Amino acid sequence: MNLLIMGLPGAGKGTQAAKIVEEFHVAHISTGDMFRAAMANQTEMGVLAKSYIDKGELVPDEVTNGIVKERLAQDDIKETGFLLDGYPRTIEQAHALDQTLSDLGITLEGVINIEVNPESLLERLSGRFICRTCGATYHKVFNPTKVEGTCDNCQGHDFYQREDDKSEKVAYRINLQMESIRPILDYYEERGLLHRVDGQQAIDKVYEDIRQILSSVAQ
């Protein structure tokens, strides 16, 4: 089974990907893992990617696409299939993936998109705060301190929020991702490959929906 898993940051892709891999035994391929492996193994594309990263530059699409192709060409993919996570991020990468799969004689069988209300994502992602004294991490909604304003761990009262976790930064990231993901979802929907899953449900219920989709895809 050859699949993509998609969703906005905080939608729970990582959690669901782990469950899919455990049950269906496909190779979980995340963009970060691919880059690290390609650079560690000094593949042609890995060396190229490292040269950009070392200069603090963005890795161009053709290098990213090349790293994906190197990974999908490996022997384990023919045996197990794959679950690709974090790619494609643009419609151009989606077209490049089509070409890669065509070159390798592989068929994409399904695209799972975990859909979560952007306001819920904002709450999930911007609620984190940290104790300045001991570094303990909390969440306003999901993991608050037992006594408001007092760290459970060290009883300190000085908390802060990382710049990246502030609501305006999180909202900007979510909007950016929504803009880039929309044409990709439309593209796969037109091809009859897209399966939308309600990510607002409990984790196990989300997976039950995914499981039903994959069972029908596997037939």
Catalytic positions are 13, 89, 128, 162, 173
Residues in the chain: 219
What span, in angstroms and rounded, lies between the C-alpha atoms of 48 and 171? 33
What DSSP character marks residue 199?
Answer: T
Sign of CA dihedral 164, 165, 170, 172: negative
Question: What's the N-to-C CA distance of the chain in angstroms?
Answer: 10
What span, in angstroms and rounded, lies between the C-alpha atoms of 25 and 72? 16
Per the DSSP assignment, residues forming a β-bridge with 198 are: 115
Q: Using DSSP, state whether 123 is helix, strand or coil.
A: helix
Per the DSSP assignment, residues forming a β-bridge with 139 are: 128, 143
Radius of gyration for the alpha carbons in the chain, expressed in angstroms and rounded: 20
What's CA 196's distance to the chain center, in Å? 15
Please name the residues in contact with 29: beta carbons below 8 A apart, sequence gap of 6 or more.
Answer: 68, 71, 72, 82, 83, 84, 85
Q: How many CB atoms lie within 10 A of CB 46?
A: 21
